[in-house]
Structure 1
Amino acid sequence: MPRCPAPIAHDALRRFSHRLCIGAILAIATPAHAQQAQNPSPISDTTRPHPRVAESRADGERTTLSLGELFVPAAAAARKRVTMPLVMHLHGTPWLIERHIAKAVPHAALVTVNLGAGSGRYAAPFADAAKFSALLDEAADATARITGRRPTWSSVTLTSWSAGYGAVRAILSTPDTAARVNTVILLDSLHASYVIGGDPSAARSKDPAVNVSDLDAFTRLAADAAAGRKRFWITHSEVYPGTYASTTDTANALLASLGLSRQPVLKHGPLGMQQLSEARREGFQLLGFAGNSAADHVDHLYALGDWLRAWKVVQ
């Protein structure tokens, strides 16, 4: 159930902020309803400025992998550590993610993967369980060519924005690959289909139930995090896709699986974001934010660096 088709540059965002993500396509699990389009959002936000940093390349070394691109910040390359953390980010402008890593966790290596429109494109390569492990090894080999020493990954953190959750779900769906992941951060980045008959875009008086089977890999991770065995951090907006479950819907389903309730709060977040709710238990944290425009959705991607610094989850 994809979100935005491609990483959004800030000039394009200003042009298209009146609707959520043009061309996003929903791949419904029921064959009869495949290829349903997301309902376009007419909402725009002129209340907050949604600041965006100018594009710039962080200092470091880069190399192209079989899937994605490796970035080793200058600080990490100079240290030549035997062990170092790895962050793998799914869906998001590479220069921006590299900037986040170079400033927030400069001792970590980064792999960014961008595969275009739809969560299905992110899920497909990782349907082969061997692909994730092979990519981790390939990244270690490439890092060795940069630093002169092949690192052991001290931790593996997966971060995703928007449609990138398709890859995260595929990786977590296999026990062996899930075991290699220490931390997951979803940035307004978790959807599911509805349990529905007929046309999901047809008028209705209320939303159907979330198809919780779409969330199985995430509910397992949430349980592990709530027990202190993993770390799972989720942020979500109030964007309403209409033809499939929103990030608010799926967040509520995860909370129900843990027997947790949201606590209402009113806090400032990065970029002037407005936090409205939260839920926490051990290594599990969920933060709900106001906003149902495209700009509100993109804020979560731009805020990643602030959250990495605040949460200190990459070790």
Structure 2
Amino acid sequence: MLRLGDQSYRQVAAVTLTVACVLLCGALPAHAEPDQPTLVAVTPTVSPVEQPSGAAVSPQPPTAPAPAKTSKATSEVQAKKASKPRKRRPRKRRPGGVSPCMTKDPGFGVYDRWSRRISMGQMIAPQRGGLTRGGGFDLIIHFHGHYPIRKEFVKEAKGPVLVAIDLGVGSGAYSRAFASPSTFPTLLKSVEREMARRSGRKKTYVRKLALSSWSAGYGAIGQILRQTGGKKVDALLLFDSVYGGYVSGSTTKLKTAELKPFIKFARKAARGGKLMFQSHSSIIPPGYASTGEVSAHMVKQLGGKLRRTRRNDVLGLELYERYDRGGYHVRGYKGNDKPDHCAHLGLMKDVLKVHINPRWHSPRGRKGKRAIAKAKAQARRSGTIHTVSSGEHLSGIAKRYGTTVRAIRNENGLERGGRPIQPGQDLVIPKSAKKAAKKTAKKATAKAAKRTPAAGAAASSRLAAGEVIHSVASGHTLGKIARRYHTTVEALRQRNGLVKGGKPIRPGQKLIVPAPAKKR
């Protein structure tokens, strides 16, 4: 057996270790090397829900370079480095250590909790007030991200109503939902009805209207602006939201047809007739134009140019470019990760303070018991609250109280074809229903009196010769009574005003039995 000295053994071990390191290091991906730059495709790190239609992002794997020939000394150094844990890239520090995607909840302020009594989405309105003397109110409809936008909205808003709509993945879900020209007007009418119900007024109306979106929500706004309903819009608030497509075969030229409604609105805003606020991040999405490219394109269409600037903004946003002309305001921010994308929602508070509030002068809302709560309390005292039981439906309840299904729907903010009523739910019965119920009851009593004589009336009626009074017992039928007195069922009906197929006779009821027909 060949024995190796200590020196020879160490040389063989060193060679073996070198070969192993070369093979091992050649198999490692590039990102395992601390000294080598990581080659990663630049893609936005937002979730697929936050992407435009057909553009969900999947992270690209890092590219590993081919293994190079390595000397013995280099291999030993690489082996030591490979054994050390990889250092993580430090996260960007945010003011106060707050995550833009999960900010602190400030509550609801002067606003009530979410209500779903509208045709789509959900809304919050001031607990009291928020209406002009004529019943006008201001409305902001936001698409995509109802929970985070509400937290920023209530920090500054004191009167406008907020409607928030989430429709799922991609801008396509939003554009399809508002493809019909009737969808948006229906939504506005349902909000007006709900505000009328809440305030106890006969009629309310939208005074000022703004559309707002974050990320994929711009799909709905694009559709609305193309329709006649878009003429009512006074302001657009776009938070890192408008993306675009490229012309076939190009990676720089944008499709202008998709951006036409936004550019048209921007022109009106630049002339001072409208208000438009548009922000963009530095996220570069794969295969379609970023919000930054769209902003630059729109500004160019207006004959302007984004100018460089520098300012620290909310939730760690770093402003680096801007454009202002009339009522058109563009803000460009650094940052290409998910927190930077979420941080744009934090701009809502400042936009309300700087632009919306001075422009609209919305009627102020305040805390307190809202009108519908007072109406329900008063209705309980006067006995006009109906608690739904299992198996009941609106038509049956309406018939019972002598009113209409439509009247009950309007009084309680229920939508036709909407959520069905639930057992235990309290319904306010319209005031007119009381009088109507009394009239209905009187008519029913009078009709019954004509058809079926009351017990006292039957007893006191003058009997013809041969007639008798029969008191109905349990189990009696007209047939049995007719046979007993040798008469006919038809004769009993005629004498007592009974209708064939009508209400059956009841125990205790008095019937006049006609005299039996004489036999020839």
TM-score range, shorter chain: 0.7 to 0.9
Q: What is residue 151 of structure 1 aligned with on the other side?
A: 204
Letter in 2 for 1:54: K
In the aligned structure 2, how far is the partner of 1:166 from the partner of 1:22? 17
Letter in 2 for 1:296: D
TM-score normalised per structure 2? 0.50
Q: How does 1:29-108 map to 2 (within 5 A)?
A: 35=54, 37-38=56-57, 40=59, 46-49=91-94, 51-52=98-99, 53-55=103-105, 57-58=107-108, 59-64=111-116, 65-74=118-127, 76=129, 82-94=135-147, 96-108=148-160
Query: Are the aligned partners of 2:131 and 2:137 in contact in 1 as well (CA < 8 Å)?
Result: no
Query: Are the aligned partners of 2:106 and 2:155 in contact in 1 as well (CA < 8 Å)?
Result: no
CA separation of 1:141/1:283 partners in 2, compared to 1, >3 Å: closer, same or farther? Answer: same
In the aligned structure 2, how far is the partner of 1:76 from the partner of 1:271? 32
> Deviation above 6 Å: which 4+ runs of structure 1?
78-81
Partner SS state of residue 73, structure 1: coil
Which has the higher mean CA deviation after the structures are superposed, 148-157 or 224-233?
148-157
In the aligned structure 2, how far is the partner of 1:187 from the partner of 1:211? 21
Query: Are the aligned partners of 1:77 and 1:146 in contact in 2 as well (CA < 8 Å)?
Result: no
In the aligned structure 2, how far is the partner of 1:250 from the partner of 1:275? 17
Query: Are the aligned partners of 2:121 and 2:165 in contact in 1 as well (CA < 8 Å)?
Result: yes
Partner SS state of residue 66, structure 1: coil
Structure 2 counterpart of 1:217, from 261, 267, 282: 261
Structure number having the greater strand percentage: 1
In the aligned structure 1, how far is the partner of 2:229 from the partner of 2:132? 28
Structure 1 residue 152: Cα displacement: 2.0
In the aligned structure 2, how far is the partner of 1:97 from the partner of 1:81? 29
Partner SS state of residue 312, structure 1: helix
1:171 aligns with 2:216: no
Structure 1 residue 207: Cα displacement: 3.1
Which has the higher mean CA deviation after the structures are superposed, 44-53 or 245-254?
44-53
Letter in 1 for 2:300: A
Letter in 2 for 1:167: A
Partner SS state of residue 48, structure 2: coil
In the aligned structure 1, how far is the partner of 2:133 from the partner of 2:150? 19
CA separation of 1:193/1:78 partners in 2, compared to 1, >3 Å: closer, same or farther? Answer: closer
Query: Are the aligned partners of 1:212 and 1:253 in contact in 2 as well (CA < 8 Å)?
Result: no
Q: What is residue 237 of structure 1 aligned with on the other side?
A: 281
In the aligned structure 2, how far is the partner of 1:139 from the partner of 1:167? 18
Partner SS state of residue 264, structure 1: strand
Letter in 2 for 1:159: S
Partner SS state of residue 288, structure 2: coil
Query: Are the aligned partners of 1:60 and 1:77 in contact in 2 as well (CA < 8 Å)?
Result: no
1:160 aligns with 2:185: no
Structure 1 residue 302: Cα displacement: 2.7
Query: Are the aligned partners of 1:157 and 1:181 in contact in 2 as well (CA < 8 Å)?
Result: yes
Which has the higher mean CA deviation after the structures are superposed, 18-27 or 82-91?
18-27
Give the number of the structure whose alpha-carbon radius of gyration is greater.
2
Q: What is residue 243 of structure 2 aligned with on the other side?
A: 191
Letter in 2 for 1:48: R
1:269-307, CA deviations, whole angstroms, 9 ceiling, x for partnerless residues?
112311111111111110111111111000001331232
Partner SS state of residue 70, structure 1: strand
Query: Are the aligned partners of 2:119 and 2:186 in contact in 1 as well (CA < 8 Å)?
Result: no
1:7-45, CA deviations, whole angstroms, 9 ceiling, x for partnerless residues?
xxxxxxxxxxx9612436654xxxxxxx45435389x87
1:283 aligns with 2:283: no
CA separation of 1:81/1:305 partners in 2, compared to 1, >3 Å: closer, same or farther? Answer: farther
CA separation of 1:108/1:280 partners in 2, compared to 1, >3 Å: closer, same or farther? Answer: same
Partner SS state of residue 101, structure 1: helix
Structure number having the greater helix percentage: 2
Q: What is residue 3 of structure 1 aligned with on the other side?
A: none
In the aligned structure 2, how far is the partner of 1:41 from the partner of 1:294? 16
Identity %: 28
Unmatched segments (≥5 aa) in structure 2: 1-42, 62-88, 361-520
Structure 1 residue 80: Cα displacement: 7.8
